[in-house]
Structure 1
Amino acid sequence: MGKSLLFSNVLVVDEDGVERIDVLTADGRIEKMGHGLVAKDAQAFDGRGKILMPGFIDIHVHGANGFDVMDADAAALSGIAQALPKEGVTAFVATTMTQTEGRIAHAVETAGKYRSADGEAELLGIHLEGPFLSPEQAGAQNPEHFLKPELDLFNHWQVLGGGHIRIVTLAPELEGADKFIAGLEASGVIASIGHSAATYEQAVASNAQHVTHLFNQMTAFHHREPGVVGAAMLDSRFRVELIADLIHSHPAAVKLAYQQIGAGRLILITDAMRAKGLGYGNYDLGGQTVVVDETGARIQTGRLAGSVLTMDRALRNVRDLAQCSLPELAQMSSGNAAAALGLHGKGKIARGMDADLVLMTEALEVELTVCRGEIAFSAN
């Protein structure tokens, strides 16, 4: 572990509130919080005019900086883990794409074995996005490789991944989905509704606990058929992912999601692909060419194919649109994700918690990111 870090007179923000206080880290954890803290061996930071938040947790990210989870390569995972702290992300769930069974198996096995190095965002597990999806809501997922939910196949992948698959996005209306979701629930894996043509009734009747990228690739709200969107808004058991890049969803839709669902259930994600952090151009996503320009990241049909959104930009967008509080932003960017994954050491700033921290300006620009006590990014 690196040296201790001391943040003095900093505005500490998490979902429980706001307090101006000193924070001392040691051995990868938060050791003390109080006023007038002194630690002669600690690297000191003057926090006046700065905000200290729990490090962001991105539970739905495919890639960054030229790397993708489906590269199925430890170097690619390391590349992603090194890139994410620049935007304040200290932990992430590596997200796969629909591909052949063999390619998914290889990606899952590689991610399951990966352990983040010091100074990298921590890989928390795997988000299996597909192949148990609806052809009617394929988006940029390749329907050639879609399958009906098969618990035996999932269990095979889970064994390959060392038990590290944490979330599965699926369409609950598919044949066999009820048994599949029950199997996920029994093993502590989150079942998330996404790429789904389910009716409102089917979504509510399912035992899923989560909704993948709200509004995108799901049955939209209609006054005679509220769809998955209506279920996400009205059923309080669902935690709901939101891509707040203002491309995947109109600004008014983002504001509506905040007002109707609330900070207690929303989880900000990026759904970013390998072009994040790079310039405009052509990139690969799950074997398909993606063109990235000012309109976003799109496959040749014009459909959106993930994003190049950063988490700090997502926070600024939501703050500006929803006029929400700093504790609510902390809840949507870390606290809810930590709770969903059952992470007792992350998502808050308190004594004994992991030293996963992001120091920001009042304009929510990232100045410093700390991953498990190690400085992973510094703007200066």
Structure 2
Amino acid sequence: MINFKKINIVLENEIVTSSLKVTNGKIESIGSSSDEQGFDFSDYYLVPGFIDQHIHGSAGFDIMDGTLEAFDEMSKSLLKEGTTSFLGTTITQSFDNIEKTVHLMADAKVSGANLVGVHLEGPFLNKVFKGAQPEQYIIPTDVKMFDKWNKYKNIKIISMAAEVDEAFKLIKHCSKNNIIVSQAHTNATYDISRKAIDNGAKGFTHAYNAMSKLHHRDIGVVGNMLLNNDAYAELICDGIHVSKDAVRLLYKNKGRENIILITDSMRAKYLPDGKSELGGQEVFVKNNEARLADGTLAGSILKMNDGVRNMIEFANVSLVDAVYMASTNPAKNLGLDTKGSIKSGFDADLTVLNKDLEVVMTIVNGKIVYEKELKK
């Protein structure tokens, strides 16, 4: 059992100073507690654990390493930023490498943040906006190939370019099977992008990045993203991938209900500046930026609690709304019905933040799995 005698609890629409009790991995109650013993965190916030639906790597490990060790070490490192659940995100690679990694994740047991499924980024992309995706492995959509990868039904999101999907066959197939399609690495026109949503696509991957730009005669994928609130937008809120003004514009158009904060981080997160790797490509990390040799951004080294703090600063939103975008929205998007909010009966996946939004405690499935020594 865990008992918070007094703490500032971040709910979906307000912050209340109250007590909270955790029993058997669940939030048992919010409100008056008769227990005399427990944590008195009156100067701290209790938020629902962050859910990172788009992350490639961390702490020297990458999902495409395709090992149980990599999955586990990543999951443990994410606790330091308050993330309690994540999707292991692939990158465009050979058929065999993708199959090996996706299948291994189906039964993987990790000791840190919950590994709740796979985000398949690529290989069905447009080479024009390949970004840091290895071009030699980019191919047109193939429904049979996708189904082989999804043998164990653990792919939750596929990021793809609608214009390489003839007659939207894969989009329709995924929509019928409750798999989220997110538009990514795409040079689609506005019309094609809109039709992709009409046929079942539900999201836009790493907003603004690697997608056709807004033009006054064809507003492209970026324009469709800003105009259409039938699909969410992922946001890397690091001030590098997306400027402060672009964050404000996105929030003004889509609001908290249609934005999902992500990190899109790669293996160099938590490591010193220097050389790293992504998808077999050399990456150079300096001043919080990860880039290929030609200067192309190659994922991020963003931590989720920093993304939340940046969202508050860049778009002048409340902590309640920023947490909603980092926890509640991804839970709703992924169908994690007992995660993403602080409610009685929900999973006790919780994060304690100080007033500077630094993580001081992370709780997963009712167990304290990370603690930072508190300043006295």
TM-score (norm 1): 0.95
Provide the alpha-carbon RMSD of the alignment: 1.1
One-letter amino acid matched to 2:117 = G
Cα distance in 1, alignment partners of residues 5 and 20 from structure 2: 7
One-letter amino acid matched to 1:136 = V
Once the two structures are TM-superposed, the CA of residue 336 in structure 1 deviates from its matched residue by 0.5
* Structure 1 equivalent of residue 180 of structure 2: 190
* Structure 2 equivalent of residue 341 of structure 1: 334
Query: For 1:104, which of 64, 79, 98 is the aligned residue?
Result: 98
Could you say if the C-alpha distance between residues 200 and 351 of structure 1 is closer, same or farther in structure 2, counting changes exceeding 3 Å? same
Matches for 1:40-189 after TM superposition, within 5 Å: 44-117=38-111, 120-159=112-151, 162-176=152-166, 178-189=168-179
User: In 1, are the aligned partners of 2:288 and 2:301 still within 8 Å (CA)?
Assistant: no
The 3-state SS of whatever aligns with 1:289 is strand
Cα distance in 2, alignment partners of residues 376 and 86 from structure 1: 10
Runs of 4+ in 1 over 3 A off after TM superposition: none
Query: For 1:13, which of 10, 13, 33 is the aligned residue?
Result: 10
Could you say if the C-alpha distance between residues 37 and 269 of structure 1 is closer, same or farther in structure 2, counting changes exceeding 3 Å? farther
Per-residue Cα deviation, 1:292-326 (whole angstroms, up to 9, x for no partner):
01161011111000000000110111111111112
Cα distance in 2, alignment partners of residues 57 and 263 from structure 1: 15
* Structure 2 equivalent of residue 325 of structure 1: 318
Cα distance in 1, alignment partners of residues 145 and 7 from structure 2: 49
Does 132-141 or 357-366 show the bigger shift? Answer: 357-366
Cα distance in 2, alignment partners of residues 271 and 84 from structure 1: 13
The 3-state SS of whatever aligns with 1:24 is strand
Once the two structures are TM-superposed, the CA of residue 39 in structure 1 deviates from its matched residue by 6.7
The 3-state SS of whatever aligns with 2:257 is coil
Matches for 1:192-231 after TM superposition, within 5 Å: 192-206=182-196, 207-231=200-224
Could you say if the C-alpha distance between residues 37 and 324 of structure 1 is closer, same or farther in structure 2, counting changes exceeding 3 Å? farther
Once the two structures are TM-superposed, the CA of residue 16 in structure 1 deviates from its matched residue by 3.1
Once the two structures are TM-superposed, the CA of residue 14 in structure 1 deviates from its matched residue by 2.6
Once the two structures are TM-superposed, the CA of residue 227 in structure 1 deviates from its matched residue by 1.1
**2:353 paired with 1:353:** no
Cα distance in 2, alignment partners of residues 78 and 363 from structure 1: 28
Cα distance in 2, alignment partners of residues 324 and 351 from structure 1: 26
Matches for 1:212-361 after TM superposition, within 5 Å: 212-294=205-287, 296-361=289-354
The runs of 5 or more residues in structure 2 that have no matched partner are: none
Once the two structures are TM-superposed, the CA of residue 362 in structure 1 deviates from its matched residue by 1.8
Matches for 1:363-378 after TM superposition, within 5 Å: 363-378=356-371
The runs of 5 or more residues in structure 1 that have no matched partner are: none
Could you say if the C-alpha distance between residues 343 and 177 of structure 1 is closer, same or farther in structure 2, counting changes exceeding 3 Å? farther
Cα distance in 1, alignment partners of residues 288 and 10 from structure 2: 33
User: In 2, are the aligned partners of 1:213 and 1:242 still within 8 Å (CA)?
Assistant: yes
Cα distance in 1, alignment partners of residues 59 and 264 from structure 2: 14
One-letter amino acid matched to 1:110 = L
Does 357-366 or 270-279 show the bigger shift? Answer: 357-366
Cα distance in 2, alignment partners of residues 110 and 266 from structure 1: 30
Once the two structures are TM-superposed, the CA of residue 37 in structure 1 deviates from its matched residue by 3.7
Cα distance in 2, alignment partners of residues 79 and 116 from structure 1: 8
User: In 1, are the aligned partners of 2:20 and 2:33 still within 8 Å (CA)?
Assistant: no
Could you say if the C-alpha distance between residues 274 and 177 of structure 1 is closer, same or farther in structure 2, counting changes exceeding 3 Å? farther
One-letter amino acid matched to 1:263 = R
One-letter amino acid matched to 1:83 = S
Cα distance in 2, alignment partners of residues 164 and 197 from structure 1: 28
User: In 2, are the aligned partners of 1:171 and 1:177 still within 8 Å (CA)?
Assistant: no
One-letter amino acid matched to 2:46 = L
The 3-state SS of whatever aligns with 2:78 is helix
The 3-state SS of whatever aligns with 1:179 is helix
Once the two structures are TM-superposed, the CA of residue 66 in structure 1 deviates from its matched residue by 0.3
Cα distance in 2, alignment partners of residues 235 and 249 from structure 1: 19
Does 213-222 or 12-21 show the bigger shift? Answer: 12-21
User: In 2, are the aligned partners of 1:6 and 1:39 still within 8 Å (CA)?
Assistant: no
